[in-house]
Amino acid sequence: MPTYGSDGLTRCVVADLDAERGDVDRDAQLIEIRVRAAGGYLIADHSPGGRHLYLLLREGVPADEVLQVLQGWQADCPSLDPAPMRSAHAGLIAPPGALHKSGRGHRQLTTSWPDAQALIDQPNAPTVWQQLLATAPKRRLSSQTAGPSQQTPLREAVDPITHGMGAAYVAIAQTGDTSAYPSPSEARQAVLWSAAAAGLSLTDVARRIHTGAWPGLAGLYSRYSPHHRHNALARDWRKATALVEKHRADRARNRPDRQCNTRGQETHPPAPTGHRGVRDWDNVLAHVERHQLSADPTKILILRAMGQAAQRRGEPQIIDGVRALSLATHLNIATISRGLSELRDAEEPLVTRTAEAHGFEADTYQLVIPDTLRHLTRQRWRRGRLRALHPAFRALGRVAGFCYEALARADTGLGVLDLLERVPYASKSALDDALATLAAHGLATAHRAGRRTLWSVGPESADGVAEQLGADTVHRALVRRYALERALFHAVLLDWWATRGAWWTREPPDEPDPPPPI
């Protein structure tokens, strides 16, 4: 079973005592004394290969604290193996009742069932863990053990330098074909480099390995024992992220300086301009959608609609009002107004208001690229055109619309796990339902690629589906309604101006009193 939850925390710290390493009974007694001194209690089992001690906690604790305690105990308990608790992404442990890996018996619970049930119902208080953490011996590192892997911190992810993984690297991860490389280890490292360069995280890679999405890459790690596979993955990931950063630095150093020396340095980056500026902004939007707005589809839709409007004009300036944005996003006008206010007030906004509404003109917005994300503009542009939601998805639903747009802009077929990254605001079950809906209307098709099912855009057009479902009729009705509202608003403005002008003619406003005589 996994030793950590999806939140990266554990509520069950396991001390794995291996009989091949030392005296498990002595070490178990020493650990139990320490836990009891902190006011806590343990659940224990044994097997032909050693013992497990389970410390159940009321609140979750992170991996770094767990390792601080276990590695501190390891100095006095040589049979203790902290490997199952080392990684929050790939840690596994066999629970009581599981068959031992040697096949010579099962893990048997040694704690009485009433005591174990009591601990399950009432885990140890947070104060127990804090006491263990405070009293854990400091780990003693020798010069032989303190290698580069301990000196270089493991990074979960780095800023991407490419738009996505290359098809050749994805094929290796799926099939395990390493014939293009001198050795399997070099092929494995190449896949991880491509993943890191595309902005994937270590968690993303580990999930693909354990869910079977990348069976080829999983096979390349099969030479390691289960307890050491996550260590090998972390070691290779550290090399991959370091190589990405080196490549980024080399590219920045070799880029020619085109700035005229007779001009002063700009204090802020220029706003994007023209069609290229809109496409560069689209690259930044893809990153922000995934890493900052993954739980806010409303803001994603508004930004996509603004990008769509800018792309239509051929410049990163938006003069469309809230009604036009409402038509593109299927959101009501009040939601659009609130979302625009929050987007322009963000810490690193992607849009800024350059002129407030005046007369017949709506607010004017400009697409902007934050300094911290400007490096993303050097990536290859995304395929396809910017679009929020097609009118067909008034009938088929928002999640189906997000899926369709992801498929339309993908270079290759996408699996469900790939879509989970591009549509992180939807659950897997919601994506399954959305894909089934798209397939039923011919907007998506599935095909097998090894053991995976990949999806791509289907033969039917979204316009045709909208017409079949009557969504185009709803859309045209809204267009007419908004046009009428706009005409009425303009009429009111004209009437007000005419009245104001007549009043001015009949009765000029009083001039201010003259200044008093000196």
Q: How far is CA 446 from the centre of its chain?
A: 25
324-340 pLDDT tens trace: 999 999 998 889 999 99
User: What does DSSP assign to residue 86?
Assistant: T
Band of pLDDT at residue 312, cut at 50, 70 and 90: confident
User: What is the C-alpha separation between 23 and 15, in angstroms, rounded?
Assistant: 14
225-246 pLDDT tens trace: 766 777 888 889 989 888 888 8
76-135 pLDDT tens trace: 888 888 888 876 655 678 888 777 665 566 788 889 998 889 999 999 999 999 999 888
Residue 21 makes CB contacts below 8 A (sequence gap 6+) with: 78, 79, 80, 81
pLDDT (average), residues 449-460:
86
Alpha-helical regions (H) of 51-105: 63-74
Whether pLDDT at 171 is above 50: yes
19-48 pLDDT tens trace: 877 788 888 999 999 999 889 999 998 887
56-72 pLDDT tens trace: 999 888 777 888 888 88
pLDDT at res. 96: 83
Contact 238, 156 (CB under 8 A): no
Contact 408, 380 (CB under 8 A): no
330-372 pLDDT tens trace: 998 889 999 999 998 888 899 999 888 777 778 889 899 888 8
Model pTM score = 0.48
3-state secondary structure of 457: strand
Distances from the Cα of 505 to the Cαs of 495, 498, 512, in angstroms?
Answer: 15, 11, 18
Band of pLDDT at residue 401, cut at 50, 70 and 90: very high
Whether pLDDT at 462 is above 80: yes
Band of pLDDT at residue 393, cut at 50, 70 and 90: very high
DSSP letter string, 392-440: THHHH-HHHHHHHHHHHT-SS-B-HHHHHHHSTTS-HHHHHHHHHHHHH
**Cβ-based neighbour number of residue 459 at 10 Å:** 8
Band of pLDDT at residue 253, cut at 50, 70 and 90: low
User: What is the C-alpha separation between 11 and 4, in angstroms, rounded?
Assistant: 8
Residue 156 makes CB contacts below 8 A (sequence gap 6+) with: 201, 202, 203
Tokens 């390792």 belong to 67
Burial class (CB in 10 A: 0-12, 13-18, 19+), 213: buried
Mean pLDDT for the chain overall:
80
